[in-house]
Structure 1
Amino acid sequence: MRQLLVLLAGGLLAIGGCNNGPEAETNGERQISVNITEVQPSTFKHFLNVQGNVESDKTISITPRVTATVERIHVRAGDQVSKGTVLAELDGEVTRTQIDEVQSQLKLAETRYERQQNLREENIGSEIQLLELETQVRSLENQLATLQEQYDNYTIRATIGGTVNNVMIKEGENIGPADPAFQIANSEALKVTAEISEYYINRVETTDSVRVELPSIDRELSKRIDVVSGVIDPANRTFGIEVYIPNIDGLVRPNMLAKLNINDFRRENALTVPINVIQQTNEEGFLFLAEETPEGWVARQQPVVTGNSYGDAIVVEEGLQAGDQVITVGYDNINDGDPLSVQDR
């Protein structure tokens, strides 16, 4: 029994000796296992991620030229139309009746004129009678042309080619020249618009690069901002930007959702560290460096002043130099002056 207890105790000691925790011992001194990264200058970029909307730079409203009842609508929202396409027909029955009457009168006048002309060639009848009939024909022709022009006003046509964004009328409704009937956007003159918080008004410029993503068609492109508004919207404290884009493969449509990734800040030769290694004490930030001494590696608490951050990186404005060894793993278990066991460099 005594031998069994001795064997069990020896086994437990062996298991305890295999534990690879964060601490190690060298010459009887406790060391903390850490990973370190050497700081080197690099290019730091900050990005704004905002949502935008595809719009047409040529979006127009089409209104009727006369007051009348909507008889028939030929298109609906989303339809592609060409310039001159009939969008709707209005009730122009009164004018249509007048045209029919004038056409009948003109036909009769032309018949009488032709007969009088034949008689005149045989020296029958007077020249005055012929001229009077000719004048009547010309008068009716002008009257018919005027009525036909008026009747054309009862047909609403597209004045540009593009996409029908909105149909604002209904069949049977009475409308007039002050009532918008259709909205059409030209899909060859497109732009992405977005609203950005006024906090960034002095950081977003027309020279900034931007990546435009169109998720619905799985396309993206790199551009520069074309327009930055200098006016703040008092309702939501934002300012607008515009990015002109081509109609990629003819797939882009007005009102599509767009995602913008704007590079609003860039610094060359910046010293950056992972944002999670920065710690705070009162109002001062600090991190831990690993310093190699004749006795081995030791931790050094280093005060730093930080700047912009993006993702998991933050710029250190003061307190670091190129070549410093920043502790990136194990920093939360150490104090200034602690001996270290460096596992990864």
Structure 2
Amino acid sequence: MKLSSKFLILPIAMLVIACGGNDELAQKKSELEEKRKEVATLNSEIEALEKEIAKLDPEFGKTVRKSVLITTTTPSKENFRHFIELTGAVLSKKNVAISGEVSGRIQEVRAVEGMRVNKGDVLATIDSESVERNMDEVQKQLELATIVFEKQERLWKQEIGTEIQYLEAKNRKETLEKNLSGIKTQLDRTKVRAPFTGTIETVNVRLGELVQPGTPMFQFVGESDLFIEADVSERYVGIVGKGDSVEIAFPSIKQTLKSKVSSVGSVINPNNRTFKVEVFLPRMENVKPNMISIVKINDYEKDNAITVPNYLILQDSKGDYVFVVENEQSKKRYITRGMTYKEITEVKEGLNGSEVLVDKGFREVGDNFTVKITE
């Protein structure tokens, strides 16, 4: 089948136009790229010339320099406090090892690790069979001695018999009474009891084990007389002292309180180069021995201190400085740092508190830069 020539001409014409359009677009893009390169080169040459002229003519530099957009802030005048932050642990002055006072085999162990007990609660029982037998024997001897003494006493009142017989009977009875009292005390000691209210830390005996007087059976921690102990670096020797104010936080129970340093150690630990401090801990609900706490000791405080945020302080070969705004220009102002705590630094010299400081944009400015303050 043959097609008419007029149907072939149209597609060919469209193809020619399309090819021509693409060539023109590519050419314009190429021209644009070349112009951009020329502009970049010219800008670089202009900037280099401006720098060279500014070195020879500072006034020219001021006129061509563009204004830098900044925000501002002011120094603060406040009660500045510095803290030493430490991790401490809650301890008890009533942390004792409970031992048996009589020998024998363990018949019962009631206490388990972590158990809270009250004063007088029985923790363990030691076999008391031999003690009980001894007590029965002495009891019978005492009954007989009492009868003999009473008869001898009646005879003595009737002036029958000798005084020696009376005194011997009395002494025999009193001696057995004392022996019986001692055996009862010994029998009571077969019950190992809690000396005060607290918590069982460790159990060191097992059922059926033979123990002797003085054998450690339990490690026991009381719930009263609690304090916090923390390690302080030796570089704070002479800085941290007894009576210093302390802020305590318990992260696990989200509670805080204020207290004071109650004791400062006098020996440096050679292993970690620290000394120990104790902080008084008042009675608190939910605070338990061995609980972790964050201890902040206030080692420095000054009223009406001039402070600035840490990030505004820069450094060069001459020292620390900040940028202040004067007559729409940024100026270097050298300062003397004081103490730094968290994000705030005390300024001891260089600022009086009335200055306007460059805040946002402080890294884009330099000395004698023209600035424009924006919100």
Match of 1:288 among 295, 315, 323: 323
Please report the RMSD computed on the Cα atoms of aligned residues, expressed in angstroms. Answer: 3.4
The verdict on how the C-alpha distance between 1:112 and 1:309 changes in structure 2, with shifts beyond 3 A counting, is closer
Q: Which residue of 1 aligns with 2:368?
A: 337
**TM-score, reference length from structure 1:** 0.76
Q: Which residue of 2 aligns with 1:56?
A: 92
Write the letter of the residue equivalent to 2:361: G
Larger-gyration structure (1/2): 2
Q: Which residue of 2 aligns with 1:225?
A: 261
Write the letter of the residue equivalent to 2:372: S
Match of 2:301 among 263, 266, 289: 266
Match of 2:289 among 249, 254, 257: 254
Q: Which residue of 2 aligns with 1:16?
A: none
Match of 2:275 among 239, 242, 247: 239
Give 1:276 shift: 1.0
Separation of aligned partners in 2, 1:143 and 1:270: 76
SS in 1 for 2:216: coil
The verdict on how the C-alpha distance between 1:135 and 1:39 changes in structure 2, with shifts beyond 3 A counting, is closer
Separation of aligned partners in 2, 1:133 and 1:205: 68
The aligned runs of 1:35-114 (5 Å cut-off) are 35-103=71-139, 109=144
Structure with the higher strand share, 1 or 2? 1
Q: Which residue of 2 aligns with 1:155?
A: 191
Give 1:333 shift: 0.9
Separation of aligned partners in 2, 1:210 and 1:50: 11
Give 1:111 shift: 11
Runs of 5+ consecutive residues of structure 1 not aligned to the other structure: 6-26
What is the total number of aligned residue pairs between the two structures?
A: 307
Give 1:52 shift: 0.9
Separation of aligned partners in 2, 1:134 and 1:98: 22
Deviations 1:285-327 (A, max 9, x none): 22211112xxxx0111222222211121112223223212111
Write the letter of the residue equivalent to 2:259: K
Question: Is the CA contact 1:191–1:244 (under 8 Å) kept in the aligned structure 2?
Answer: yes
The verdict on how the C-alpha distance between 1:234 and 1:139 changes in structure 2, with shifts beyond 3 A counting, is closer
Give 1:138 shift: 6.3
Q: Percent same amino acid among aligned pairs?
A: 30
The verdict on how the C-alpha distance between 1:328 and 1:141 changes in structure 2, with shifts beyond 3 A counting, is same
Q: Which residue of 2 aligns with 1:165?
A: 201
Give 1:256 shift: 1.5
Give 1:100 shift: 3.5
Runs of 5+ consecutive residues of structure 2 not aligned to the other structure: 1-27, 29-62
Question: Is the CA contact 1:47–1:261 (under 8 Å) kept in the aligned structure 2?
Answer: yes
SS in 1 for 2:268: coil
Question: Is the CA contact 2:76–2:308 (under 8 Å) kept in the aligned structure 1?
Answer: no
Separation of aligned partners in 2, 1:335 and 1:214: 46
